Amino acid sequence: MSALTLTAAGIAQASGGQVVQGDPETRIESVSIDSRSVQPGQFFVAIRGDRFDGHDFVQAALTAGAIGALIEAERGARIGEQGGQPGVLVRVADTTRALQSIARDVRRRSGTKVVAITGSAGKTTTKEITAEFLSARYRVFRNKGNLNNHIGLPLSLLELRSQPEIAVVELGMNHPGEIRTLIGIAEPEVRVWTNVGDAHMGFFESPDAIADAKAEVLEQAGPADVLVANADDPRITARASRFPGRVLTFGVDNAADVRATEVRMQGLDGTVANVITPAGNVQLQTPLLGRGNLANVLAATATAIHFGVPLDAIRERAARLTAASHRGELLRLPGGITIIDDSYNSSPSALMRALELVAAAEGCARKIAVLGEMLELGAHAGRLHRECGAAAAQSGLSIVIAVGGEPARSLADAAIAGGMPVECVHHVPAKQDAAKLALQFVRPGDLVLVKGSRGIGTDYVVEQLRREFA
């Protein structure tokens, strides 16, 4: 199928703007918001951010070969009048809102069905599993990485010019109102709500407040739309009843449309479960680690069943799933070290699940955890880190290395208070210090969990261990 045509005139029409320089029929093949990496022929969107204003780099983008630029009337009035590089210029009131409007226009014209996934944890993994299952029957687009905010999502939706049959995207947020904006851009036919956790607690009064913000995923829906909801999360079930369309549930502990029974957690070898669905029963085996990933697989299964993907195809693809980089990735190094690389991000509830996995793991000489500070917890940080430290003390760990500021120190202190010997618990301020300790302590036969918020950089510890023991 040929790609949708996007022109400067079309961009102006979709965004309420005006072509003020160049040929309105100029075709736009791709878009960039970064003048440093703009490619010849791309259309540059001058986004105003907290630290940089893209309008300061329009001429640089045009010099680098950009075919044109989207600019704001107020800030871009002089662009094109200063003897700079030629290019088609579209002037709008607000470039961020314009980008969102253009993306929504492409999404509508594409004819693509959109699946939008939100939740406090597991969004990217659920997105990847869902796209994998749906690919058994459809041409599927998935957004790259976690382009899931008010700028990343529109950039992803612009890719729907290729007109895939289904697009699977994720919706992120750390403040009220953000999911509402993203839903209005993506206009999904299927919404997946994975869980409500304690990530971003620093921006909210309580988990219920987080749930209310996540519940914006229920808005702007019609009777033909579908919500795939976690039946094991009481904050989700309490809010899902307001959804005007069809609700399809998944879970383990409670009755659900797609429910795992006879669950056998196989430690570092993954999980096996009998899954009861409206389309029949199937035994699924997945190498993905832990109970959280089982829930992610169930959410993806429910979505795939809605789209008519056969159970046999789901079973086959579940068996060969692989974790995304730094998201519960199991690394078996040639030097005899096993690493659970969950360094992409962390939250108290996700860390608790990771510690449960480590506690149940068998066949390793020792268990070591490198635990980075969990950010964006605000006034709750001390208490939540102490709770995780107490849990770490009960997880059969031989060594704990806590990385970061005072909250990480609180975790270490709680691990000692929970019964771990003082000499086995270490607090260091930076990733480099943590890596040095890890290299000092880790030896063949050990299992090492590495987990922390992105801003702490615990992936550096993984890199150093891989380099040492490869």
Please name the residues in contact with 70: beta carbons below 8 A apart, sequence gap of 6 or more.
Answer: 11, 15, 17, 43, 44, 45, 46, 90, 92, 95, 98, 99
Which amino acid is residue 148, in one-letter code? N
Q: State which fold the 111-318 domain adopts.
A: UDP-N-acetylmuramoyl-L-alanine:D-glutamate ligase (3.40.1190)
Residue 410 CA to chain centroid, in angstroms? 28
Query: How distant, in Å, are the alpha carbons of 285, 363, 388, 403, 406 from that of 269?
Result: 10, 11, 25, 28, 35
- Provide the residue-wise pLDDT of the chain in tens; the chain has 470 residues: 568 999 999 999 999 999 999 999 999 999 999 999 999 999 999 999 888 899 999 999 999 999 999 999 866 555 554 445 679 999 999 999 999 999 999 999 999 999 999 998 889 999 999 999 999 999 999 988 778 899 999 999 999 999 999 999 999 988 899 999 999 999 999 999 999 987 667 778 888 999 999 999 999 999 999 999 999 999 999 999 999 999 999 999 999 999 999 999 998 999 999 999 999 999 999 999 999 999 999 999 999 999 999 999 999 999 999 998 999 999 999 889 999 999 999 999 999 999 999 999 998 999 999 999 999 999 999 999 999 999 999 999 999 999 999 999 999 999 999 999 999 999 999 999 999 999 999 999 999 999 999 999 999 999 999 999 98
Do 100 and 47 touch, CB atoms closer than 8 A?
A: no
Q: State which fold the 329-469 domain adopts.
A: Protein-Tyrosine Phosphatase; Chain A (3.90.190)
CA 67, CA 84: separation in Å to the nearest integer? 13
Residue 81's pLDDT is what? 47
Which amino acid is residue 301, in one-letter code? T
CA 143, CA 132: separation in Å to the nearest integer? 13
Query: How distant, in Å, are the alpha carbons of 97, 196, 250, 391 from that of 199?
Result: 27, 9, 22, 18
The residue to which tokens 């579908």 are assigned: 226
Residue 1's pLDDT is what? 57
Q: State which fold the 8-93 domain adopts.
A: 3.40.1390
Residue 206's pLDDT is what? 86
What are the sequence ranges of the domains in the chain? 8-93, 111-318, 329-469
Strands (E), 333-456: 338-342, 367-372, 399-403, 425-428, 447-451
Query: How distant, in Å, are the alpha carbons of 44, 53, 82, 344 from that of 19?
Result: 14, 21, 17, 42
- Classify residue 193 by its DSSP letter: E
Please name the residues in contact with 336: beta carbons below 8 A apart, sequence gap of 6 or more.
Answer: 444, 445, 469
Please name the residues in contact with 216: beta carbons below 8 A apart, sequence gap of 6 or more.
Answer: 176, 177, 178, 179, 180, 183
The DSSP element (H or E) to which 140 belongs, if any, is strand 140-142
- Classify residue 4 by its DSSP letter: P
Do 450 and 339 touch, CB atoms closer than 8 A?
A: yes
Which amino acid is residue 388, in one-letter code? C
Half-sphere exposure of 14 (CA within 13 A, CB side): 23
Query: Counting every residue, how long is the chain?
Result: 470
Tokens of 32: 């960039």
